[in-house]
Amino acid sequence: MLQVGNLSFNYGKTCVLKDINLNVKKGEIISVLGPNGVGKTTLLKCLLGMIKPCSGFIEMDEMDILKMSSTHRARLIGYVPQAFPSKFPMTVFDAVLMGRKPYVRFVPSENDLEVVSQVLMSMNLNHLGLKDFDRISGGQKQKVLIARAIAQEPNYLVLDEPSSNLDVRHQLEVMDMLRKLAQKENIGIIMAMHSLNLASRFSDRIAMLKSGCMVCNGTPLEVMTPKIIETVYKIEANIHRINGYPYTIPLNPMPENRTNKELLN
């Protein structure tokens, strides 16, 4: 289990995260929702040990992530970043091969190549294998980054807006794949999301952030209520239940002058 306890984080003097508590079990998908700039990416970076929280703890399978070696950590937790800058051309295969770094001593082995080609296969990416990473579409890049994280064979997967560049069909496809991956390989997945409906449809639990605090954390049905969505996103919304999933239909932005207190009452 990935456990976050009383986590707070400041960038300089500005407090970005306050007292966050969160658990991710293996085989479970958790979505972190919240408006732009609320601290979703920051939370994920803390989980990855890229930045050090100013208080609180993060434990992975009962081990403090800050006390692990970076290689050990990279074997346990995979990361799909929001963007992937690349200055020099490389093939898609080489990009996915990077995911094998925690297992590579000097040069990638036969087994590493095998794992990479299997992952490419399972994600229907093998036709792109030898193409330049810079010359595939944004959505394809996102799938390649997910493939790279899967090639890491981690116990937990952290994804930062994995669906933002995908068309409707590929969104469903990738989410479905993540869902199956979580169940089949028993991987705990935590992802920052902007699409409320994808999150409701594919997550086991949803955590809502608002100005650095966790507003609520529960199943999609518990969390996706007009009231909570109003508080967090300051919009008026309808919720419809289809096939047992709550779907949000945003209607109007709320006028700015209403205070939070009014809303919560």
Partner 1 sequence: MNTDCLTIKNQDMKNQYKALKYRSLVLLAAFFLIASVIAVIALCVGASSISVTDSILALIEDNGMARSIVWNLRLPRVIMALLIGIGLGTSGAVFQAVLRNPLASPFTLGIGSSAGFGAVIAIVFFNGLVNEYAVVIWAFIFTLLSSFLILGVSRYKGATAETMILTGIALMFLFSSLSSFLQYLGTKEEVHGIVFWFFGSLSKAGYREIVMSGIMILAPMPFVFRFAFDFNLMTAGDESAGALGVNVSGVRMLSIALASLMTSGAICFTGVIGFIGLVAPHIARMIFGSDNLFLIPASALIGGVLVLSADTLGRTVWLPHVIPIGIVTSFIGVPFFLYLLIKKTKEYW
Ligand X SMILES: Nc1ncnc2c1ncn2[C@@H]1O[C@H](COP(=O)(O)OP(=O)(O)OP(=O)(O)O)[C@@H](O)[C@H]1O
Question: Is 53 among the residues that bind partner 1 (CB under 8 A)?
Answer: no
**Least spacing, CB of residue 40 vs ligand X, in Å:** 3
**Least spacing, CB of residue 44 vs Mg ion, in Å:** 8
**Least spacing, CB of residue 158 vs ligand X, in Å:** 12
Task: Give the bridge partners for 218, in sequence order.
Answer: 206
**Cα–Cα distance measured from residue 9 to residue 53, given in angstroms and rounded to the nearest whole number:** 5
Q: Quick one: 1 or 215, whose CB is closer to ligand X? A: 215
- In a 10 Å sphere around its CB, with 0-12 CB exposed, 13-18 middle and 19+ buried, how is residue 234 labelled? middle
Q: Quick one: 99 or 246, whose CB is closer to partner 1? A: 99
- In a 10 Å sphere around its CB, with 0-12 CB exposed, 13-18 middle and 19+ buried, how is residue 25 labelled? middle
**Least spacing, CB of residue 168 vs ligand X, in Å:** 20
Instruction: Give the other-Cβ count within 10 Å of 11's Cβ.
Output: 11
Contacts with 253 (C-beta within 8 Å, 6 or more apart), sequence order: 234, 235, 236
Residue 248 binding result from partner 1, ligand X, Mg ion, none, given CB thresholds of 5 to 8 Å by partner type:
none
Contacts with 16 (C-beta within 8 Å, 6 or more apart), sequence order: 9, 10, 39, 42, 212
Residue 11 binding result from ligand X, Mg ion, partner 1, none, given CB thresholds of 5 to 8 Å by partner type:
ligand X
Q: Quick one: 69 or 252, whose CB is closer to partner 1? A: 69
The residue of the chain with the least Cβ separation from ligand X equals 41
**Least spacing, CB of residue 103 vs ligand X, in Å:** 30
Task: List contacts with ligand X (CB under 6 A).
Answer: 11, 16, 34, 36-42, 192
Write out the two tokens for 227. Answer: 């009231």
Binding residues among 75-114 for partner 1 as defined by CB under 8 A: 75, 77, 79, 81, 84-91, 93-95, 98-99, 101-102, 104, 106-108, 113-114
**Least spacing, CB of residue 196 vs partner 1, in Å:** 27
Q: Quick one: 59 or 132, whose CB is closer to partner 1? A: 132
SS3 of residue 255 by DSSP: coil
Task: List contacts with Mg ion (CB under 5 A).
Answer: 41
**Least spacing, CB of residue 135 vs partner 1, in Å:** 8
Position among 8, 10, 56, 132 found at the interface with partner 1 (CB under 8 A): 132
Instruction: Give the other-Cβ count within 10 Å of 254's Cβ.
Output: 15
Write the DSSP symbol of residue 132. B
Contacts with 254 (C-beta within 8 Å, 6 or more apart), sequence order: 230, 234, 235, 236
Question: Is 117 among the residues that bind partner 1 (CB under 8 A)?
Answer: yes
Question: Is 156 among the residues that bind partner 1 (CB under 8 A)?
Answer: no
**Cα–Cα distance measured from residue 251 to residue 237, given in angstroms and rounded to the nearest whole number:** 5
**Cα–Cα distance measured from residue 49 to residue 204, given in angstroms and rounded to the nearest whole number:** 24
Q: Quick one: 48 or 206, whose CB is closer to partner 1? A: 48
